[in-house]
């Protein structure tokens, strides 16, 4: 089996699952984009990133406190930047952790992966084209909403209410997130006139629908 056919099958198997993990989807995307990924490399890099964050967290840290700590570590200590899509490296977890540059959607993915690692229920949503991450609170407390485009600052209650009542607040499941990122690659390869890469992504998406 060729590498392309193997990737097509792996993505097809992923999308056939009822509720696949986001971490597995990000790993498949990494396999698609990286020719030199070593065994365990992705886990190692992600764990190193988590180690940058964990000293600032306590067992009692609230979702709001975790969101603020993530922001401070990623954007102020480590100088992560959110930029428009210009390179496939911005959708590679390995390269994003190394270069600290990514797109709003993939930063949302990174936030969800970090939230999961630190035991915080979360989801990702789109509102009028803006990527929003939600850290859920327990009981009847309001959830914490984070606007990715603004370097992951917390949304005010007014902004949150406006987003949720605006009629276009769309919660994405893990399959939809990976499909969105694959569509980003089609857009990028179209701009770059990379027809063979574009065709492969189109075939992967076609097999998954």
Asked if residue 57 is part of any domain, the answer here is yes
Asked if residue 192 is part of any domain, the answer here is yes
Asked if residue 198 is part of any domain, the answer here is yes
| Per-residue model confidence (pLDDT) at position 139 | 67
Work out the burial of residue 37: count CB atoms within 10 Å of its CB; fewer than 13 is exposed, 13-18 middle, 19 or more buried. Answer: middle
Asked if residue 126 is part of any domain, the answer here is no
Number of domains in the chain: 1
Nearest CA among 89, 87, 133 for reference residue 107: 133
**How many CB atoms neighbour CB 200 within 10 A?**
18
Asked if residue 99 is part of any domain, the answer here is yes
The mean pLDDT value of the chain amounts to: 92
Res. 202: pLDDT tops 70? yes
CA distance 12 to 81: 32
**203-to-7, 12, 175, 181, 196 alpha-carbon distances in Å:** 10, 10, 16, 14, 11
CA distance 85 to 135: 25
Res. 208: pLDDT tops 80? no
Res. 209: pLDDT tops 90? no
Asked if residue 62 is part of any domain, the answer here is yes
| Per-residue model confidence (pLDDT) at position 8 | 92
Quick check: 133 and 108 in contact, CB under 8 A?
A: yes
Sequence-separated (6 or more) residues with CB below 8 Å from residue 48: 97
Task: Convert 129-194 into a string of H (helix), E (strand) and C (coil).
Answer: CEEEEEECCCCCCCCEEEEHHHCCEECCHHHHHHHHHCCCEEEECHHHHHHHHHHHHHHHHHHCCC
Mean pLDDT value across residues 29-51:
91
Give the DSSP H or E segment for 128: none
CA distance 149 to 100: 15
Q: DSSP secondary-structure letter at 18?
A: S
Percentage of the chain modeled with pLDDT above 90: 78
Which range of residues forms the domain containing residue 30?
A: 3-117+176-208
Q: DSSP secondary-structure letter at 36?
A: S
The predicted-structure confidence for 134-166, as pLDDT tens digits, reads as follows 998 776 667 899 999 999 998 877 677 667 676
Asked if residue 169 is part of any domain, the answer here is no
The backbone torsions φ and ψ at residue 134, rounded to the nearest 5 degrees and listed phi first, read -120, 125
The predicted-structure confidence for 17-29, as pLDDT tens digits, reads as follows 999 999 999 999 9
CA distance 88 to 33: 7
Mean pLDDT value across residues 117-133:
93
Asked if residue 142 is part of any domain, the answer here is no
| Per-residue model confidence (pLDDT) at position 167 | 64
């Amino acid at each position: 089996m060729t590498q392309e056919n193997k990737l097509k099958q792996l993505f097809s198997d992923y999308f056939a699952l009822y509720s696949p993990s986001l971490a597995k989807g990000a790993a498949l995307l990494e396999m698609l984009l990286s020719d030199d990924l070593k065994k365990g490399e992705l886990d190692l890099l992600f764990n190193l990133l988590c180690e940058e964050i964990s000293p600032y967290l306590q067992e009692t840290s609230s979702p709001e406190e975790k969101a603020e700590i993530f922001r401070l570590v990623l954007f102020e200590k480590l100088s992560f930047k959110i930029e428009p899509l210009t390179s496939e490296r911005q959708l590679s977890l390995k390269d994003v952790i190394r270069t600290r540059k990514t797109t709003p959607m993939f930063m949302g993915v990174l936030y969800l992966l970090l939230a999961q690692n630190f035991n915080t229920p979360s989801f990702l949503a789109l509102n009028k084209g803006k990527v929003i991450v939600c850290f859920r609170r327990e009981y009847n407390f309001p959830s914490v909403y984070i606007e990715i485009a603004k370097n992951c600052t917390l949304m005010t209650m007014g902004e949150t209410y406006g987003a949720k009542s605006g009629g276009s607040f769309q919660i994405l499941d893990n399959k939809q997130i990976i499909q969105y990122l694959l569509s980003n690659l089609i857009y990028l390869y179209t701009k770059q006139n990379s027809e063979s890469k574009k065709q492969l992504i189109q075939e992967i998406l076609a097999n998954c629908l």
